[in-house]
Structure 1
Amino acid sequence: MTRLDNSGLAGGAATRSEATIGKRIGMLLVPDTGLDAEIWEWCPQTVTPIITRLQVPDNCAEEFAAVDEVIGSSDVVEPATRSLFGNRMLGGTNPDIVVLNCTSASFVRGLEGEASIRTSMLRAGAPRALTTSGAVVGALTALNARKVAVGTPYDAETNQALAKFLLEAGFEVGSIPTTEIQHLDHASDNQIRAIAAAAYDKHASAMFISCAALRTRHLIQELNARYQVPVITSLQATMWAALAQVNERVAASDHVLHSLQWPGSAPLLPV
């Protein structure tokens, strides 16, 4: 199974006040994503997420794929990464890992594009780097998934790019249904349930609901039970993978990824 290239990458209960000197995860979010509270919910009390927004120029192309390419470009990713680290003038928060928390921006240019985003973050000072799409590959690998049912809020063109990415990473993917949601940050629970229902494939060994802007944490167990397969969502996979790299686990012992380690067959982020 082909996996993402990892060349050049490095790798008692506490109170929240104590967590400020514990592990830190730098999260790079797109401006229209408002999942800060859910990011905190995934973190154990020993980990602090340091959240910042990518500054996307307002003169980028209107086409969705082109916007995703801009989001994942070095011109956007590197300044956001550098903002987390100190310089000679002023200290920084200095997270242990930096994460680009956008699924489509990290799959739209395939495995090579995903690797280039991580390289940009490392070049800007990140000690380790992760993308949402890379996290999804790691999560599906940890689950030994082969055929994956995929649901998204994207248009058909973006779904094609996602299918190509997953196929390139070694997974079997059927057709991805188009269940578009115009305002992702305000997606309802029923809209997310509809994405899962459209994606369901009785022959799949896992289901993946794509888009890191969707609030899904409270729905995952329900969907697992309904479809009787592990259901992975973008933010769930991202937080599991980021925490695994700093030797922590997601704060959700009943979730399917909680006890799983980062798979040795997908060593995206060697320590």
Structure 2
Amino acid sequence: MPITPFAPPEPPSETTTIGFIYPDHAAEDDYPLAEQLLGGDMAGIKLPVEHIYGTDLHAVPELLDLGSESRLADGAALLAKHEPDAVVWACTSGSFVYGWEGARDQADRLAAVAGVPASSTSFAFVNAAQALGVRRVAVAASYPDDVARLFVEFLGAGGIEVVSMGSADIDTAAEVGELAPEAVVELAVSRDHPAADALLVPDTAMRTLGEINTLETRLRKPVLTANQVTVWEGLRLTGKAPLVRTLGALFGLRSS
């Protein structure tokens, strides 16, 4: 009987492209890692990143400037060559600093200029928590306390109760991006709370994708991190829900 040669699976005929506008440089390598973990070309998923620039200081005036309409329009223009199916502003502090209504207006204006559905990391956290059915969370923030408290207020506006919040008081995104994996794990674990249904780690400048399973194993609860939920939000906008074991409980959900 002749042996049939092995034929590798064919990539999907259609590709879903989600574009990310990322501020400056810190942990943007989480996005190609996510693309790889999600299956990349074989899964028909592309996650291009384009950068906009401003100061990376975690302070309210600088964050308001970073997330301004003109800067995000510049980011959308850079992403246009990728022909994205959705666009996400990959910056938590540069969205929640506007408050709930301001962040909604920011996302709506981004969608208008990009010509595709758009969101931000701040809304990604609320949507991800709701998808997991969690209502009480702990927050492990890298920001200074005054900025971290604005995130707590944003979550509250989205119906998420914060039972505890710890801030590491790190001034710049560049400093956050330099944290070693063990420092990321320690920062997160040390700020969990037993009453929390999940732990939220809100800074996209922090490399977290490689640590999510470690954190969930240690804490025995879902862990939502900024770059993780940002990728998930883009997939949600396009109707994609790939199941993978390497990106935490959130990526074990199947959309209804």
CA distance in 2, matches of 1:169, 1:128: 20
The corresponding residue for 1:256 is: 249
Q: Hey, what does 1:223 align to over in structure 2?
A: 215
Counterpart of 1:81 in structure 2 is: 76
Aligned equivalent of 1:148: 137
Q: TM-score, normalised by structure 2?
A: 0.85
Corresponding residue for residue 63 of structure 2: 68
Report what 1:130 is aligned to: 119
Name the residue aligned to 1:174.
163
Letter in 2 for 1:55: Y
Q: Give 1:27-176 correspondences, 5 Å limit.
A: 27-36=20-29, 37-45=32-40, 46-56=44-54, 64-85=59-80, 92-176=81-165
Name 2:180's counterpart in structure 1. 188
Q: Is the 8 A contact 2:90 2:230 kept in 1?
A: yes
1:236 to 2:234 alignment: no
Deviation at 1:41, TM superposition (A): 3.2
Structure 1 residues 76, 93: closer, same or farther in 2, change over 3 A?
same
Q: Is residue 23–residue 52 contact of structure 2 (8 Å, CA) maintained in 1?
A: yes
- Please state how far the C-alpha of 1:251 moved relative to its aligned partner: 6.6
Question: How far apart are the structure 1 equivalents of 2:107 and 2:182?
Answer: 34
Amino acid in structure 2 at the alignment position of 1:80: G
Distance in structure 1 (CA, Å) of the matches to 2:252 and 2:76: 29
Higher relative contact order (CA 8 A, sep 6+): 1
More helix by share: 2
Find the aligned partners of 1:55 and 1:178 in 2 and give their Cα distance.
25
Paired amino acid for 2:53: Q
TM-score by length of 1: 0.80
Taking the aligned partners of 2:203 and 2:72, their CA distance within structure 1 comes to: 18
* Structure 1 equivalent of residue 3 of structure 2: none
Aligned identity (percent) is: 24
Output one character per residue of 1:158-178: Cα deviation in whole Å (capped at 9) or x when no partner: 111111111111111134212
Q: Secondary structure at the match of 2:167?
A: coil
Q: CA deviation at 1:186?
A: 1.2
Deviations 1:164-205 (A, max 9, x none): 111111111134212134512111122212221232110111
Residue pair 1:33, 1:213 contacting (<8 A) in 2 also = yes
State the Cα distance separating 1:152 from its structure 2 match. Answer: 1.1
* CA displacement, residues 190-221 of structure 1 (integer Å, 9 cap, x when unaligned): 22122212321101111111111111112111
Task: Please list every run of 5 or more consecutive structure 2 residues that lacks an aligned counterpart in the other structure.
Answer: 1-7
Question: Separation in 2 of the partners of 1:253 and 1:150?
Answer: 23
| Corresponding residue for residue 4 of structure 2 | none
Identify the match of residue 202 of structure 2 among 198, 210, 216: 210
Runs of 4+ in 1 over 4 A off after TM superposition: 12-15
For residues 42 and 184 of structure 1, what CA distance do their matches in structure 2 show?
23
In structure 2, do the counterparts of structure 1 residues 190 and 42 end up closer, same or farther at CA, with 3 Å as the change threshold? same
What per-residue deviation string (whole Å, max 9, x for no partner) do you get for residues 118-174 of structure 1? 122122133110101111111100111111011011101111111111111111113
Q: In structure 2, do the counterparts of structure 1 residues 114 and 261 end up closer, same or farther at CA, with 3 Å as the change threshold?
A: farther
| Structure-2 change in CA distance of 1:110 and 1:42 (3 Å) | farther
Q: 1:44, 1:178 → 2: CA distance?
A: 34
| Residue matched to 1:8 | none
SS in 2 for 1:238: helix
Asked if 2 retains the 8 angstrom alpha-carbon contact of 1:195 and 1:209, the reply is no
Q: C-alpha distance in 2, partners of 1:202/1:140?
A: 17
RMSD: 2.4
Q: Secondary structure at the match of 1:142?
A: helix
